[in-house]
Amino acid sequence: MGRQVTFFAAPDDIAQLQHRIGDIEPMCILHDRSPTAKPRVLPTLDVAEDGQSLLFYFLVREIDLAQVVTRHVPAQGYWTVDVLRSPVVEFDGCFFDGTVLRRGRVYYVEGFYGENDEWIEKPEGFRSWAKRVLKATKKCLKRRGSDYIGAAAAEWLAQGDGKLVT
């Protein structure tokens, strides 16, 4: 079963959210793609490559980093994190260009079906941490319908400069 929180967050909100989540327990931020089977660790949730902001990350407790499973995508020539089998929280950032702010989400799965169709729960330590990540996200942002919104994003929206896109 998966759990998620969807949100609208401007860059300042994302920085605040990263800080709040990082206070829970030491964690690493992973890029969604890597040139090798080893996950690619990033310093922040605000990374740009080739002039483009990255939007797709994985969060993992430092103590779980060695448990991250990757899978090869031969047609594309990279490795990606296997979210089902890894103790990771998926963090999809919000595209923001000053005119449009797209919805992001924080998501994790509690387990998966193994080779013999048996349910395999992820470790309790991971599940507990992942629940705290979602709780911290909700506390850092304000509820707006079924989503949450950051203070900077709400201020930007109130100025009438753009629109939210789901």
| CA-angle at 40, arms to 67 and 165, nearest 5° | 100
Number of domains in the chain: 1
Q: In the predicted model, what is the mean pLDDT of the chain?
A: 96
Average pLDDT value for residue range 140-157: 96
Picking from 5, 7, 4, the residue whose alpha carbon sits closest to that of residue 150 is 7
Average pLDDT value for residue range 140-164: 94
- At residue 161, the pLDDT reads 75
pLDDT tens digits along 95-123 = 999 999 999 999 999 999 988 999 999 99
Q: What percent of the chain clears pLDDT 90, i.e. is strictly above it?
A: 93
* Domain interval for residue 7: 2-165
Per-residue pLDDT at 145 exceeds 80:
yes
Alpha-carbon dihedral 66, 69, 73, 76, rounded to 10 degrees:
-40
Work out the number of other CB atoms within 10 angstroms of the CB of residue 25. 15
Sign (positive or negative) of CA dihedral 8, 129, 37, 71: negative
What confidence category does residue 23 fall into, taking pLDDT thresholds of 50, 70 and 90? very high
Query: Which residue would you say has higher pLDDT here, 115 or 8?
Result: 8
Picking from 32, 46, 22, the residue whose alpha carbon sits closest to that of residue 86 is 32
d(CA 163, CA 166): 10
Per-residue pLDDT at 165 exceeds 90:
yes
Per-residue pLDDT at 125 exceeds 80:
yes
Q: What percent of the chain clears pLDDT 70, i.e. is strictly above it?
A: 100
Per-residue pLDDT at 162 exceeds 90:
no
pTM tops 0.85, yes or no: yes
